[in-house]
Chains A and B, each alone.
Chain A
Amino acid sequence: MVYYWEHECGWVNYLDPYYFWNFEGKVKCAGCDRVARFKFVNGMLLEGPTEVDEEADVLPLYADNPNRGYEAIKVGTEGKTRPFYGLMRDPSTYTGKARIRTENFRGKFIRATPNQPKKAGVIESRRFAWIDRTKSKDVWENDDYPGKPVYGKFRKEE
């Protein structure tokens, strides 16, 4: 594992390609705080990860844990991941907290309504018909299949 560094603690650290493209130094695992040394030259991992008992040079930007349902350590978590100045001013806006806004920057009304209900998934997202198509192709293409959209009928949105 190179760019996504799955530590033995189970956390996967994402070493973003541009920063680590040519890189030599120590990175701290966001999950367990242990430090390892890497050497990348033009994207190729030449050395590492070798565990060392030193201060880390840099933190990963993001890490998650597949074994815990992809629990994530977000960008800019103090001591875990490094901050990202490109981040917009309010992290909650894209991490799933509904923001109800009817006013714009200068305080005038703009047309906006509450975001999608929680059960629809991540806030402000939209779903497509085709990601619901979990049935196999023969079922899907069978004319008798009740879920198939036909001209002249709307499928009710749940």
Chain B
Amino acid sequence: MEKKVWDPSPPGSWSFDPPRDKDPVTGEDMEKIPFEEYCRRMFDPDKLWEKPEALKGWRHISSTMYILSPHVGATLGEFGAEVIKVEMPKLGDPMRHTSPFNEAYLWPETDHRPQVGTGMGFLHANDNKYFITLDYHAPEAKELYYDLIRISDSMAECYRPGTFYRWGIGYPQLKEVNPRLIYIYLGGFGNYGPRRYGGSYDILGQAVGGLAAITGWHEDFGGHPTKQTNWLIDWYSGLTGLIGVLAAAHYRRKTGLGTFIDLSQISCSTRATGYAFPLYGRFGVVRQRWGNWDTLLSVHGIIMTGRTDDPEHPNPQISVESRYVMVSAFQDDDFRELCYIIGRPDLWEKYSSARERVKPEAQIEIYRALEEWASDKSRSEVVEILNNAGLIAVPVFSAKDVYECEHFWERGTLRWIDDPIFGDVLVHGATVKMSETPPRVKWVWRPIGADNIRIYHELLGYPLPKLKELWEKGVI
């Protein structure tokens, strides 16, 4: 047989030959296999490194700190972009010394301070990045930065509005240097408006944005507004910004023009308040907190059971706290079944209509009855009883349960990576599953300025003596 110069569908290629009639490896008919098996093959985490990357060739400059703005770059990096993180020389990102209860650190942070580690708080907002240093205040910095921008697709920054403009590297200046640049500003209050210079944190976004107002137990139950664990608004707003960046890239394909995105994380928090604003605007009703229950559906909430599965465990998080179950039975049939299981058929007779069940008084009664029923059972017993009855009940997982849950391992969500610098680290890989171009984590982070030579010398072509001079001046 004649040898083809280019085989459009080489064996083992996952990328260029859908629709997949056949499994490229085994030759099995993909149409015939069960759906779950099909998914398993499509999203197979073992095939991760055989598949291409979605954003190959994209270059992103991340002039960022904390979580919100670095996350844009980290996610681009997971999708295959080349992301360059610019930090202040020696000092680095303040997030580097943020660690839960000051406990968990990985070493070293820089080569000149071997005794200092980087905190786990830095994790995951900075993976796959290259780390360079640049002191924007220095007179030489502007040209260096222009050189980076000239060859980049996008950049993110988080300094107070107008700071980059004063340094000569704001959007009005950079769009002259590179009109294709997608410039995203991520901050709390945005670039215009009366409070534009206000600083912001994730928790501030939650507080003023509205999420705090609706999370936690109601005042009448003695509750307080509750913070969502781990910086929800930073992470999710960063992704929202990334949506803007990727959409702008689609527009840029047609026009060759970039854009400036002014993203306020408070606005993202406000976006996540559901029906609160239409309800207020039309009826003047102010949405309140409603604890572990749901304002739209009932039964659809979290209940406390009598005891944990392992009351002897030394860690109180296991022995005391792991005793909650999420129960969902909001459709009529499910609710009826639930009422019979907990021995309260009167509740079903009383609240047989879905609307009635959601009323606050009904919810209080129903959930109390549920907790009473569960008070002499352990978490796994409750889950087992309800699941065996064909209802939906999920234990409230702790980190230990997540770690021990087979599901997340086989899906490649949890994954040990062999970090080139830090060794064996567990990460969340592949948050979104993609059949062709899955995202991936290559390294968690690197020390401050670890890639100065790689970027300034190998990418931009600055001669080494020049870099040495800049380094001695403290510019990089």
A residues less than 8 Å from B116 (CB atoms): 116, 126
Interface magnitude class on chain B: 35 or more
Q: Which residue of A lies closest to B422 (CB)?
A: A111
B residues less than 8 Å from A93 (CB atoms): 101, 103
Contact with A along B390-434 (1 / 0, CB 8 A): 000000000000000000000000001000011111100000000
Q: Given the complex of chains A and B, what is the CA–CA distance between A13 and B351 in angstroms?
A: 49
- Which of A33-41, A101-109, A138-146 interfaces with chain B? A101-109
Contact with A along B102-129 (1 / 0, CB 8 A): 1101111000011111000000000000
Q: Is B138 in contact with A157, judged by CB distance below 8 angstroms?
A: no
Q: Is the interface of B mostly helix, strand, loop or mixed?
A: loop
Q: Does A52 contact B (CB under 8 A)?
A: no
Q: Is B424 in contact with A85, judged by CB distance below 8 angstroms?
A: no
User: Contacts A22-B222, A111-B107; is A94 near B102 (CB within 8 Å)?
Assistant: yes
User: Contacts A22-B222, A151-B475, A152-B473; is A112 near B105 (CB within 8 Å)?
Assistant: yes
Q: Which residue of B lies closest to A103 (CB)?
A: B424
Q: Does A88 contact B (CB under 8 A)?
A: yes
Q: Closest approach, in angstroms, between the C-beta of A97 and any C-beta of chain B?
A: 12
Q: Does B11 contact A (CB under 8 A)?
A: no
Q: Does B12 contact A (CB under 8 A)?
A: no
Contact of A112 among B107, B113, B314, B475 (CB under 8 A): B107
Q: Is B424 in contact with A112, judged by CB distance below 8 angstroms?
A: no
The interface centre, meaning the residue of A108, A113, A115 with most chain B CB atoms within 10 A of its CB, is A113
Q: Given the complex of chains A and B, what is the CA–CA distance between A154 and B473 in angstroms?
A: 9
A residues less than 8 Å from B108 (CB atoms): 111, 113
User: Contacts A85-B320, A110-B425, A126-B116; is A94 near B314 (CB within 8 Å)?
Assistant: no
A residues less than 8 Å from B422 (CB atoms): 110-111
B residues less than 8 Å from A120 (CB atoms): 115
Q: Is B102 in contact with A124, judged by CB distance below 8 angstroms?
A: yes
Contact with B along A36-55 (1 / 0, CB 8 A): 00000000000000000000
Q: Closest approach, in angstroms, between the C-beta of A126 and any C-beta of chain B?
A: 5
Contact of A111 among B106, B426, B474 (CB under 8 A): B106
Contact of B106 among A112, A114, A157 (CB under 8 A): A112
Q: Does B317 contact A (CB under 8 A)?
A: yes
Q: Is B475 in contact with A113, judged by CB distance below 8 angstroms?
A: no
Known: A94-B103, A110-B422, A112-B106. 20 other contacts (CB 8 A): A18-B224, A22-B222, A85-B321, A88-B100, A105-B426, A109-B423, A109-B424, A110-B425, A111-B108, A111-B422, A112-B105, A113-B107, A113-B117, A120-B115, A124-B117, A151-B474, A151-B475, A152-B472, A152-B474, A157-B113
CB-based closest 7 A-B pairs: A108-B424, A110-B423, A85-B316, A151-B473, A111-B422, A152-B473, A113-B107
B residues apposed to A, CB below 8 Å = 97, 99-103, 105-108, 113-117, 138, 222, 224, 314-317, 320-321, 416, 421-426, 472-475
Q: Could you give 17 example pairs across A and B, Cβ below 8 Å?
A: A22-B222, A85-B320, A89-B314, A89-B315, A94-B102, A104-B426, A106-B416, A109-B423, A111-B108, A112-B105, A112-B117, A117-B115, A120-B115, A125-B102, A151-B473, A151-B474, A151-B475
